[in-house]
Amino acid sequence: MVERKRIEIPEGVKIKESVGEETEFPFDISPMYEGERVRKGDMYVELGGTAQSGFELVLALPEEEVEDMKVTLVGPDLDEMEEGKAYPYAMIYYIAGSQVEQDLEPVIERRNHDFQNYIEGYMHLNQRYDIWIRISKGAMKKGLKSLTQIAKATMLLFKNELPFIEKIEALYITDGNLVDKLLNEVAMPIYDERDARVESLHDEDVDEFYSCTLCQSFAPTNVCVISPDRPSLCGAISWFDGRAAAKVDPEGPNRAIPKGELLDPITGEYSGVNEFAKEESGGEYDRIKLHSFFENPHTSCGCFEVIGFYMPEVDGIGWVHRGYPEPAPNGLTFSTMAGQTGGGKQVVGFLGVGISYFRSKKFIQADGGWYRTVWMPKELKERVAKYIPEDVRDKIATEEDATTIEELKEFLKKVDHPVVTGVVRPVDGKKITDGWAEEEEIEEVAEEVAEEPATVEQTAQPQPMQIQPVQQMSVQMPQMPAFQMPQIQLSSQPSTPGIKLIIKDAKIVIDKVIIRSEEKKGGK
Amino acid sequence: MTTIAVTGKGGTGKTVLSALLIHFISQKTTNVLAVDADPDSNLPDALGVAELVENTLGDVREVFQVSRDEMGTTNKEQWLEGKVYAEVICECDNFDLLVMGRPEGEGCYCFANNLLRGVLRRLMRHYDYIIIDSEAGLEHFSRKTIESADYIIVVTDMSKKGLSTAKRIKELSEELDLGFKEIFLVGNRITNKEAEEVIRSFAEQNNIKLLEFLPYDEKIAELDLKGEPIVNLPEDSAYYQKVKGIAEKIEELHVRSITS
């Protein structure tokens, strides 16, 4: 943790100080100036940008260390700058307040962008060490003389808009040496620390998750729940992005979801998420477990980058990304599976995720996470390799090892993948699968069940819409008997409302069965 | 802010018209944004500024799609905005130019587009004039990357297809709820009275206001062939003068909209 303290200003540098609130400014301040572009021809000076270094930083300090509404400028001021030139620029704010915590620093820091753009004739772009400012000739003509005026106006906006800031002080620097020194010694370590938080922040550390309903035009019942351990399915939105968007537009497509009570730490079930899911899906779903593959999984919109698919024959899960055109070992391509799974449904046996979910420490933890993963295309595996636990990394097959179920079985047996003997999920050490049963046993069951499909079809018809996707799939791909499996189970318990459990029961026995019988047919 | 979308069937000369309108209007005010919203067209070439274009909006969106996982806690909207302002908007002498560029690839662009909509909305409201060279499908309008247009100018040549595309554009722009004030028709490369009559009665039937007939101009074809900027068209040519007249009409409409 980088220590937060006031910046020491070296001796002998030129300093300008100003204390106290100002109410009169030689420029307008209004949100209508947001987005205003100062063109090169209209520019008085440029600060930061590509030519000069610059950064902005907010530091939370104890109350007694912050002198309210004071600004210190180190280096040349506007009236000492040459028109048309670029200068280094650092904006550092010390803030204090009983509710001000270090966690809020980045949230407050990004508002500098908003507030400074309210200033007429002042263009602020980018963030952190990338800041790029242009001040217009027009602003100078209207009477802007000093960067201390900019600092005062910005501080005023901070206090007005974010009342929990009780004290604020600004240190602006245009002295190139000092900007570079502080950027390297103070700012960069803090930015790095914040980025490291992406990896270290977990669901249990926050009170709110965020929703995303941007996709509801395609998938009306889709509810993307974005938590620190689960980014959006499209891969674009992290918890931090959700928070930023919800702060700007609380009623927009990214809204806060109070996570409520933790119902199950293993599957990631929260009462707040369940309530939200029920509301947003129009009552279609009332449970979503964030880190579960089989039970009440997250809905899949259609935008997901990767689809996970269960292969009952090996009792393992494969993942295939959008860019992989070949069929996965289950015989299906990404687009076929995506077409059946998308639309905002909970389809058991398939799960859409964003690539960044593979980085999550809670990656389908309820169902064994990486230890249940048996196959992924090489390209995808290489992209996420460093997040795969070392002891299973080489046991996950790619298309170079296996392109069919049979080859996959051979491979998994050869490398002794956990699914062969039974998966122990790391999260609580529970053994969740039994491993592969004896070959002969399976043959027997195979024949028993294989004779049933006719009756199965009939009983399955009047079932409620939850089986719809499965039916469609079997119609489109009649040669894929794996998908008839849930129907077979349904026939034995016709009025069962909960499909998920049934499928889990069925997976080993029945699916293996069907594949076997298919092969036999082929053989004859 | 007055937004003009110039559209029509491919090859009817909408880019020529767009370029000349930008040329004329930006001589009166530099607060003009030219938008190339047709991946098949070459507005930057027609304006003679192609070498200034660094990146298209589509290029930046692609970079975003592949690098977003590595962005840590940086704010993605600010990242995109910075890229748009620094690399996509091209500062020409008298106007800014924005090239929309390539269409989306595979995958989900919902989030990127949603952020870009906000960035463009805040950017565009500061211009006096926005002139958009748009393909006939009005894709950027239907996706709301560009929110609205005050005036739509449909360009047609003497072909039946040009007119049927014009009709489709009229229907589409009404469906898209663009909130436009007027839709105009410009006949381009019109060489005989008979064609003028056909176009005139088409405009009446379809309730599109006929704005102007532009002649066939060999010099344009020549500039086109050589890849030279259309704005080099001789000032004394009838074509040049007629488009100047259209630009003046647009300026009148703009002045009226800000004074009323």
User: Do A229 and A328 share a structural domain?
Assistant: yes
Last residue of a domain, one of A431, A459, A478: A431
Give the model's pLDDT for residue A497.
Answer: 46
Give the model's pLDDT for residue A302.
Answer: 76
pLDDT of B237 above 80:
yes
Residues 104-123 (A) with a CB less than 8 A from some CB of B: 106, 110, 113, 123
In a domain, A5, yes or no: no
Interface TM-score (ipTM) > 0.90: no
Q: Measure A20 CA to nearest chain B CA, in Å.
A: 31
Q: Any chain B CB within 8 A of the CB of A234? A: yes
User: Do A480 and A332 share a structural domain?
Assistant: no
In a domain, A9, yes or no: no
Range of the domain at A401: 205-431
Total tally of structural domains belonging to chain A: 3
Q: Determine contact, residues A34/A117, Cβ cutoff 8 Å.
A: yes
Q: Determine contact, residues A54/A90, Cβ cutoff 8 Å.
A: yes
Residue contact B121–A35, C-beta within 8 A: yes
User: Do A257 and A180 share a structural domain?
Assistant: no
Q: Any chain B CB within 8 A of the CB of A20? A: no
In a domain, A463, yes or no: yes
User: Do A272 and A355 share a structural domain?
Assistant: yes
- Written as one string, the DSSP assignment of B57-81 is HHHHHHHHHHHGGG-TTS-HHHHHH
What spatial distance separates the first Cα and last Cα of chain B, rounded to whole Å? 13
Q: Is residue A1 packed enough to be buried (19+ CB in 10 Å), middle (13-18) or exposed (0-12)? A: exposed
**CATH number for the domain including A131?**
3.30.1650.10
Angle between helix B193-205 and B160-175 (nearest 10): 20
CA distances for B99 relative to B30, B44, B102, B132, angstroms: 18, 8, 9, 10
Tell me how far apart the alpha carbons of residues A367 and A372 are, in angstroms, rounded to a whole number: 7
- Written as one string, the DSSP assignment of B20-49 is HHHHHHHHH-S-EEEEEE-TT--HHHHHT-
Q: Measure A37 CA to nearest chain B CA, in Å.
A: 7
**CATH number for the domain including A320?**
3.40.1470.10
Q: Which residues of chain A have pLDDT under 70?
A: 438-524
In a domain, A6, yes or no: no
Q: Which of B75, B96, B114 sits opposite A39 (nearest CB)?
A: B96
Q: Measure A140 CA to nearest chain B CA, in Å.
A: 19
User: Do A323 and A444 share a structural domain?
Assistant: no
> Looking at residues B118-133, what average pLDDT do you find?
94
Q: Determine contact, residues A27/A155, Cβ cutoff 8 Å.
A: no
User: Do A519 and A477 share a structural domain?
Assistant: yes
Total tally of structural domains belonging to chain B: 1
> Looking at residues B85-90, what average pLDDT do you find?
94
> Looking at residues B26-51, what average pLDDT do you find?
92
Last residue of a domain, one of A199, A223, A246: A199
Q: Any chain B CB within 8 A of the CB of A132? A: yes
User: Do A253 and A284 share a structural domain?
Assistant: yes
What residue has token string 């050490």?
A429
Q: Any chain B CB within 8 A of the CB of A214? A: yes
Q: Any chain B CB within 8 A of the CB of A201? A: no
Tell me how far apart the alpha carbons of residues A183 and A200 are, in angstroms, rounded to a whole number: 24
- Residue B39: pLDDT band with limits 50, 70, 90: confident
pLDDT of B252 above 60:
yes
- Round the average pLDDT of chain B to a whole number and report it: 92
**CATH number for the domain including B27?**
3.40.50.300
User: Do A211 and A193 share a structural domain?
Assistant: no
Range of the domain at B217: 2-259
User: Do A404 and A506 share a structural domain?
Assistant: no
Last residue of a domain, one of A396, A431, A466: A431
Give the model's pLDDT for residue B163.
Answer: 95
Residue contact B85–A37, C-beta within 8 A: yes
User: Do A446 and A410 share a structural domain?
Assistant: no
- Find the range with the poorest average confidence among A298-302, B148-152, B220-224: A298-302
Helix (H, G, I), strand (E, B) or coil at B99: strand
Q: Which helix (H) or strand (E) holds A196?
A: helix A188-200
Give the model's pLDDT for residue A249.
Answer: 80
Tell me how far apart the alpha carbons of residues A123 and A441 are, in angstroms, rounded to a whole number: 73
Give the model's pLDDT for residue B110.
Answer: 83
Bridge partners of A373, per DSSP, are A317
Tell me how far apart the alpha carbons of residues A379 and A306 are, in angstroms, rounded to a whole number: 12
Q: Enumerate the H helices of A201-349 as residue ranges.
A: 239-248, 271-280, 334-341
User: Do A164 and A302 share a structural domain?
Assistant: no
In a domain, A118, yes or no: yes
Q: Determine contact, residues B3/B148, Cβ cutoff 8 Å.
A: yes
User: Do A392 and A281 share a structural domain?
Assistant: yes
Classify strands B129-134 and B2-8 as parallel, antiparallel or unpaired. parallel
